[in-house]
């Protein structure tokens, strides 16, 4: 990629993030693959105390009983000023469209859209405790859905392929850690071998998180596969109706959603 302009810094990076958020939202609206309820999303830099455990992007849903529909999309803090190595890293990410897959996963049509739909069909017992396989499965399923719909600008789209490899590794590491077959260091080495040793610091933080949340790391790939299998089982013709109905159940286990949807007649 070409070198960034001399004035490239924090403000330009934040502008790019906001533009990508709106670009993806508009694509999802125009594609008519799922309804897009009203509800703002704010970009927020991750506070210092959370960085050691949540090194990457994450989403915080609207407050459950506050009547607010505002989601928050947390991103690692952007240094100000940027040193030259960091400027080049951000410039490469922008050049390759590396933020787009995160927007799909965390915002549209991923987690933010997911919780907006859950809010439209709010039931306390369904919403008080989230099911990771449904939540993360939907967000990862959306990455593939947007690839099908033509959102990603390059084929193959490198950030999407890298993310797919990471999700597969999460399954191996999750099982390995919690069956005692992998130590923390061995898990870090395994992921670094396949994702690049330059990401070792981020990988170490990720593996610590996996160790604290048994089965969460594998929930992405397992959940996405369950949704794809349900779509095939139902022989879905109307994707928008299928997605809207699926999301209407809220964050409950996918097998329970499957049981209910198998009796539906309008998909």
In this prediction, residue 222 carries a pLDDT of 96
Query: Sign of torsion, CA 24 165 225 218?
Result: negative
pLDDT, position 38: 94
Q: Given this model, what pLDDT does residue 66 score?
A: 76
Residue 68: the pLDDT is 84
Please tell me the predicted confidence (pLDDT) of residue 143: 94
d(CA 10, CA 133): 35
Query: What is the pLDDT at residue 155?
Result: 59
Tell me if 41 sits within 8 A of 107, measured CB to CB: yes
Instruction: Look at residue 40 and give its three-state secondary structure.
Output: coil
- Of 167, 252, 251, the C-alpha closest to 210 is 167
Residue 255's pLDDT is what?
96
Which mean pLDDT values do the consecutive 10-residue runs of the chain (267 residues) have? 84 94 97 96 92 85 84 93 90 86 96 94 78 96 94 72 91 98 97 92 92 95 97 95 96 95 74
Contact between residue 128 and residue 64 where contact means Cβ atoms under 8 Å apart: yes
pLDDT of 6 reads 83
Contact 216, 132 (CB under 8 A): yes
Q: Where are the beta strands (DSSP E) in the chain?
A: 41-45, 58-60, 71-75
Confidence at residue 265, expressed as pLDDT on a 0 to 100 scale: 61
| DSSP one-letter code for 79 | P
CA distance 2 to 49: 35
Please give the Cα distance from 225 to 242 (Å, whole number). Answer: 16
Question: For position 232, what pLDDT does the model report?
Answer: 96
The SS3 call for residue 30 is helix
Contact status, residue 220 vs residue 170, Cβ threshold 8 Å: yes
């Amino acid at each position: 990629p070409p070198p960034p302009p001399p004035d490239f810094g924090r403000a330009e990076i934040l502008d790019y993030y906001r533009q990508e958020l709106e670009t993806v939202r508009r694509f999802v609206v125009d594609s008519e693959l799922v309804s897009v309820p009203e509800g703002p999303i704010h970009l927020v830099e991750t506070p210092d105390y959370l960085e050691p455990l949540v090194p990457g992007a994450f989403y915080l849903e609207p407050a459950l009983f506050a009547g607010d529909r505002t989601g928050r999309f947390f991103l690692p803090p952007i240094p100000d000023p940027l040193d030259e190595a960091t400027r080049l890293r951000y410039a490469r990410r922008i050049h390759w469209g590396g933020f787009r897959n995160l927007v799909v996963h965390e915002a549209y049509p991923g987690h933010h859209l997911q919780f907006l739909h859950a809010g439209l069909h709010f039931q306390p017992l369904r919403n008080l405790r989230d099911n990771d396989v449904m939540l993360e499965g939907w967000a990862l399923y959306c990455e593939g859905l947007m690839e099908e719909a033509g959102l990603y600008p390059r084929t193959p789209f490198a950030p999407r392929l890298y993310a797919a490899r990471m999700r597969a590794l999460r399954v191996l590491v999750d099982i390995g850690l919690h069956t005692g077959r992998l130590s923390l260091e061995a898990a870090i080495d395994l992921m670094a071998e396949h994702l690049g040793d330059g990401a070792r610091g981020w990988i170490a933080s990720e593996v610590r998180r996996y160790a604290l949340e048994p089965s969460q790391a594998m929930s992405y790939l397992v959940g996405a596969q369950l949704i794809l299998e349900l779509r095939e089982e139902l022989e879905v013709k109307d994707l928008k109706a299928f997605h809207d109905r699926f999301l209407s159940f809220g964050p409950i286990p996918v097998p329970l959603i499957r049981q209910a949807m198998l009796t539906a007649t309008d998909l």
